[in-house]
A and B are shown apart, each in its own frame.
Chain A
Amino acid sequence: MSLLALSDVTIRYGRLTAVRNVALTLAEGEVLFITGPNGAGKSSLLRAIAGVTPPAGGRIDFADHDITGRAPEDIARLGLSMVPEGRDVFASLTIEENLMVGAGMHVKESNWRARVTNALEEVYETFPILRDRRHAQAGLLSGGQQQMLVIGRALMTNPRLVAIDEPSLGLAPNITDQVYERLIALQGQRKLTLLIVEQSSTRAMMVGGRMILMRGGEVLIDGDARAMGQSEAMQAAYFGYGEH
């Protein structure tokens, strides 16, 4: 049984079709990289899954629910946590408050408090800098620190699936390593499912897992990340981009 299933999804902005009839399934615990050149529709696809930009056509199922056109908060409550492109920190809230927003929705559970403390602790362990500045205003953080914060925050919701748009954006190489280590660890421990958009296929090839390549709003290739790294089709897809 797949956790996430897209069938025939199309996304439009006015007259522009950003994503065209995409079908895709993702099993629980799977790691999927989406790569592709600029404007391929990767971010749009993620936004549609998260319910931010409802698709113009097609259907999206998540955790046994049809979530097509559902509100983002409902989808989040089903266990999908999305880190959008660009750093959407709550600039005027402190770091800890930012993290707590993500933890808010399970408040009715009995062991909520303990779980939140635990989750906070885990985030701080991954990104010690956040602990040091837990009471600092998030908007004042450096670019990379904000990126750490949003990734940490996404994990606070105790999700089943994390969708991250360009996690390495603005991160120092060693921090990028840590982010991936953490994600892979979670995937191992909790069967967390990962959906990661990266412009560059380098990371996918290092981490392994499944990878799809999008271009012009369509999925061109779907296969094993490491194998694809070498493939000619891949190279061609990228170079084809030069013409705009």
Chain B
Amino acid sequence: MQRLGADKVTVAFEGLTALSEVDLEVSPGQIVGLIGPNGAGKTTLVNVLTGFQAPTGGAVSLGGTVLSGLKPHEIRRQGVARTFQGGRLFRDLPVIDNLEVTGIGLGQSRRAAIAEAERMLDWVGIGALADRIAGTLPYTDERRVAIGRALMGKPAFVLLDEPAAGMSAAEAADLAALIRRIAGEMGCGVLLIEHNVGLVLDLCDPIAVLDSGAIIETGAPAAIRASEKVRHAYMGTAADSDLPVLEVME
């Protein structure tokens, strides 16, 4: 079975080591969580996995093939997709075209890409928005477009960088359901970065915790919730608050 893996990945910027010898693996159908304080290196890791950042040490591989050194578009064509922390939609284009572009990037004809884009929009639940200009969408819908765009061509892996940021609890719950379907129905391996701890604890297994560029803990949700280290480095009140982190989630 093909796995997406980071092997001793190190990234050093001038005067700062963003990642040091990080190992991480995602298998198809699995939802792996990645949490950690701000600046821990989560986004940097996603950048390394998708070719936007060259590691100063270590390697990234997909099954047997080494991905490091490939350009982002080449890695995407190998079946590793991602979303961005800031959305990064093609703001001037209609929603449908946002998805179609990825189809084209993967070598489909326009006709085929449109057909898939339509199906995909329905699948992520925003079929009705196909003709809206992406830049005018509300936040939540933007996130769905971004996810739909990443899912074009059925990638083997998709890396989601804070997809629930700015969402209300109800919206986050809908998103959680969608992510489950990505792993379940599509058989996609998901790497989920989120600060909505409830969402991560609910969805992911295993969960890796990154702090100052190093993995400090990996394990099942219960173990993470219980970990003193994680609580100290990251959780704050979220861990012991009485309030449900996801109000409306069962």
Contacts and interface: CB of A to CB of B under 8 A. Distances in A.
In the complex, A touching B (Cβ < 8 A): yes
Interface of A: 35, 37-39, 86, 129, 133, 136, 140-145, 147-148, 166, 168-178, 199-202, 205-206, 235, 238-239, 241-242, 244
Interface string B224-249: 00000000011111110101010110
Contacts, number: 105
A151 B41 CA distance: 21
Contacts of B234: 172-174
A169 B85 CA distance: 11
B197 interface: yes
B38 A145 contact: yes
A127 B150 CA distance: 34
B107 interface: no
Chain B: number of interface residues, binned into ranges: 35 or more
Nearest to B237: A177
5 contacts: A142-B39, A172-B36, A173-B238, A175-B38, A206-B237
B171 interface: yes
Nearest to A127: B38
Contact of A175 (B37, B165, B167): B37
Contact of B162 (A38, A170, A202): A170
Interface of B: 13, 15-16, 36-40, 42-44, 85-86, 128, 138-141, 162, 165-171, 195, 197, 233-239, 241, 243, 245, 247-248
A244 B13 CA distance: 44
Contacts of A147: 38
B165 A172 contact: no
Contacts of B171: 37-38, 199
B51 to A, nearest CB: 19
Contacts of B44: 142
Contact of A144 (B38, B140, B235): B38
A140 B36 contact: no
A169 B194 CA distance: 11
Given A38-B138, A142-B38, A206-B243, A173 B197 contact: yes
B243 A205 contact: yes
B53 to A, nearest CB: 12
